[in-house]
Chain A
Amino acid sequence: MQAVLAIPKIVTGGLVLLAIGVMLYGVFMRYVMLPITDWLDVDPINFFWVEEVGETTLIWLTLIGAAVGVGERSHFTLTILTHHLPIRAQRIIHVGNNLLIAAFGGLVAWLGLKLAILNAMLTSPALEFSLAWLYASSVVGGILMALYALDAARRPAGPDHEITDVRE
């Protein structure tokens, strides 16, 4: 289980580097190559796909990153009452919360699957890949979210992360 849940972490880092790389490629093409091809009066190199690949990467990054965030307890949380409760009550709330997150992840995956099937025949404007690939991010992200939540439910509540992990 732990090994399986480590893979999305590697994918998350990889997606960030991919997104930055794609954006840099776009910047390089626009500000360096385009003036050169203009100056040489040759056909410009196409980089119309950059925006589409960047946005698709961001969708996948959002869904997978949010799922990993469940395991890492990185989501914004307000802790005003629960830490004053008896340990047993805290444990029940911890398990209940994670089961709710798992259910939400399941719903996201289910809705994503329906949308992927519904849009499978449609294609993206630039690269013409099936739009099912966009909605597949919800399927993968939702399933991972459920898995991370179920894994977290098994573990102790642990220290509060509401301060150290909340960033603006």
Chain B
Amino acid sequence: MTSPKRLSQEHQRSLERRLKAGDERALGELFDLVAPWILGLAFRILQDEDEAEEVVGDVFVQVWRHIDQHDGGRGPLVPWILSIARNRSLDALRRRRRWWRKSAHLEQAQEAMGEAVAPAAPHEAAVPGWPMHREVHAALAALSEEQRRVVVLSYFEGLSHREIAQRLRQPLGTVKTRLRMAHQKLTEGLRHLKDWVE
């Protein structure tokens, strides 16, 4: 297991500059850094290895071609890439006609274990960014069960507030309140996250 080390903001900016300059090696380095997380996120949403790998490809094509669109002043590179991965995955999910079957399968998986907060296998701790992963999990674990549930449905399934309310059989106002409070707590809990930890 490699010991975690911090990828400083300066290093991250350097990587971004190289990408913007068309340095192909930088893209390879970026893959080593974030591909496991993109793949994990895409698989978490799609529950399909092949489709998740397709999303990884889509994400890197988009990052390489549109890196100029990332405004470093508005946030680090990794969350931007993760947001692309999430959007691509949700697009793929929505395209599927098997939405409800997969969704039900996903829900069963969540209910069986609450995967969103489940600890990963020890060998995964060698993956770059692992400490950050644990911090995000800790922030989510600090939420109430109800808040956690609406956050997961919103983030990983891309459900609207109304759809979440229908799924949970809760009033729409309750769902909105839970989401708002969850986001406030997460913002507080993750405020310190600026550097990508390798």
Do A and B belong to a common assembly? Answer: no
Please list the residues of chain A having a beta carbon within 8 angstroms of any beta carbon in chain B: none
